[in-house]
Amino acid sequence: MSTSNVKRSWSWIVATLYILFLILPIYWLINMSFKSNSEILGNFSLWPQSPTLRNYMVIFTDPSWYNGYINSIIYVVMNTVISVTVALPAAYAFSRYRFLGDKHLFFWLLTNRMAPPAVFALPFFQLYSAFGLIDTHIAVAIAHCLFNVPLAVWILEGFMSGVPKEIDETAYIDGYSFPRFFVKIFMPLIASGIGVAAFFCFMFSWVELLIARTLTTTDAKPIAATMTRTVSASGMDWGVLAAAGVLTIIPGALVIYFVRNYIAKGFALGRV
Amino acid sequence: MNKTWNNKAWFLVLPVLLLVAFSAIIPLMTVVNYSVQDTFGNNQFFWAGTDWFSDVLHSDRFWDALVRNLIFSFVILAIEIPLGIFIALNMPKTGIGVPVCLVLMALPLLIPWNVVGTIWQVFGRVDIGLLGHYLRILGIDYNYTQDPVDAWVTVIVMDVWHWTSLVVLLCYAGLVSIPDAYYQAAKIDGASRWSVFRYIQLPKMKRVLLIAVLLRFMDSFMIYTEPFVVTGGGPGNSTTFLSIDLVKMAVGQFDLGPAAAMSIIYFLIILLLSWVFYTVMTSQDAKS
């Protein structure tokens, strides 16, 4: 694009200002997580005057805190594995074949991705109570399939449609059976798509609070629900709350570099 | 792509169908069940017909929450879409700036929603928050827990902070797909910056913009966690959106009938919006 030097420096300012706006609140949380509560409440400072790791120590030594992370990770991983596994063959069917009711089915899946969790919170509680699954990891994992399976199907379908159909036909002529072709040839071809689908299933299960909170009480309580109760006798424990928040950002921050080119595609259900 | 007609593909879809049916259809049937019945406890239910529906549709509470939610959705769309386009147009196209911008801008999208709430709850507090503290110093009487206007501003700024990057990234994906030859042709024709935007960039972004508008509208229409953490729906009911109101009714007060009727109405609205989304997507898929 033809941009003069003046124009270029100006456009840098826009991006920089926007990123500054994004980073400031996150910085403030990190800043707080290294302060003691008396410093947070007592004197206002832009960086920790006497940095402390006490807040992180509380989280790593108190089972009610670190179990929240373990619980979250268990059901999130279960959910991701289930979602991607069932979504792979379905996405293949949608991208390659026409069959009775395919469009209705594809649309119906979408409505579940768009459905408000608030509508499902109460019936889920009753359904899983009936099966005696309340406060188990699998209950949350299956409940999150409501929006993650459709998400995975849509994302994978988007990636699979980019693979030419001739590859399938050649493989069948070469004598590959469908399962062998799918695992040996097709899955490596859409490896990045599977990664993106898994990432988004992980993310959306990780960020969800309402359903996870409704279905758990103690044994499988996620970190998100633990965080809503940091009020103690001495008031709000802001430092620990901030430290807990910082720790929940880490999984996303760790992998963000690898998925940077696919973030738009993932959020747009594979439609970019 | 030409697709072959093959009904055996149903076997590939079956696991998804069963799993999602378990998670979606059974709970929905429960909701339908409650929406047409009344109970006096003891698991004895009476047919109530459409009473709950007319109750909900005639209650100010439902309409207030719906109107609040619609205003919220339109305000954030009016801010996030133009802002997102503007930032995407000014993003670097080559060099080290690209991955840096992408990574930093995507960061808010990957933060758990309740932590987004926590971040802004802390950030906006007048005693310990950076924003609240400096607004006080500037002499602005800001307190999101007391003043409804401040609460609204906080929730909207939070959503802009949280989701504008999605619009930016989608628009950016549309922009980088424009071949350089288009810009060179425009340059030869002596096109102004505005006509380059109007006749080259905007048409190329049309598809991603549609997705962005629909996604942002639907997701803001079912927003729950972030405002719940920041304001809890208050002060008063000023930031009680549809989802917050529904959870209050169903889990807090255990008014099963009205809550179920409201769920169904809510779900029908979402169904309609999903249909718009689906129609737009498939017609765009067919074109490309």
pLDDT for residue A1: 45
Q: Considering the domain boundaries, does residue A44 fall inside one?
A: no
For B136, the 3-state DSSP assignment is: helix
How many angstroms separate the CA atoms of B29 and B260, rounded?
A: 10
At a CB cut-off of 8 Å and minimum separation 6, what does A245 contact?
Answer: A29, A33, A227, B115, B118, B119
DSSP secondary structure, B80-106, as one string: HHHHHHHHHHTS--SSTHHHHHHHHHH
Structural domain total, chain A: 1
Is A99 close to B284, i.e. CB distance below 8 A? no
Q: What number of C-beta contacts closer than 8 Å exist between A and B?
A: 293
How far A156 CA sits from the closest chain B CA (Å)?
A: 13
At a CB cut-off of 8 Å and minimum separation 6, what does A213 contact?
Answer: A221, A222, A224, A225, A228
Which residue type, as a one-letter code, is found at position A108?
W
Of A110, A149, A263, the CB nearest to B277: A110
CATH code for residues B61-287: 1.10.3720.10
Q: Which of residues 47-76 of A touch B (CB under 8 A)?
A: none
Give the residue extent of every domain in chain B.
Answer: 61-287
DSSP B109: G
How far B30 CA sits from the closest chain A CA (Å)?
A: 6
pLDDT for residue A231: 55
Of B16, B122, B133, the CB nearest to A44: B133
Are B39 and A113 a contacting pair, CB within 8 Å?
Answer: no
Residues in chain B with CB shorter than 8 Å from the CB of A153 are 16
Q: List the single best residue of B20, B31, B231, B281 to mutate versus A (max A Cβ within 10 A).
A: B20
pLDDT for residue A91: 93
Query: For chain B, which residues score pLDDT lower than 70?
Result: 1, 39-44, 288
How many angstroms separate the CA atoms of A91 and A114, rounded?
A: 18
At B266-282, the pLDDT tens digits run 888 888 888 888 888 77
At a CB cut-off of 8 Å and minimum separation 6, what does B87 contact?
Answer: A14, A15, A18, B164, B168
Is B20 close to A82, i.e. CB distance below 8 A? no
Of A118, A252, A267, the CB nearest to B222: A118
Range(s) of the domain holding residue A172: 62-267
Q: Which two tokens stand for residue B188?
A: 């030869």
Are B36 and B49 a contacting pair, CB within 8 Å?
Answer: yes
Which residue type, as a one-letter code, is found at position B193?
R
Q: How far is CA B195 from CA A197, B88, B167, B168, in A?
A: 38, 17, 22, 21
For residue A104, give the CATH number of its domain. 1.10.3720.10
Instruction: List the pLDDT tens digit at each of the 272 positions of chain A.
Output: 444 444 556 778 888 999 999 999 999 999 888 988 878 777 777 888 888 888 898 889 888 888 888 999 999 999 999 999 999 999 999 999 888 888 888 888 888 888 888 888 888 888 888 888 888 999 999 999 999 999 999 999 989 988 998 998 899 899 899 899 999 999 999 998 999 899 889 988 988 888 888 888 888 888 878 877 655 555 677 888 889 889 988 888 888 888 888 888 888 887 77
At B195-221, the pLDDT tens digits run 888 888 888 888 888 888 888 988 898
> Which H or E run includes B255?
none
How many angstroms separate the CA atoms of B134 and B125, rounded?
A: 10
Cis peptide before B148 (omega within 30 of 0): no
User: Looking at the predicted complex, does its ipTM rise above 0.90?
Assistant: no
Residue A71 has, within 13 A of its CA and on its CB side, a CA count of: 26
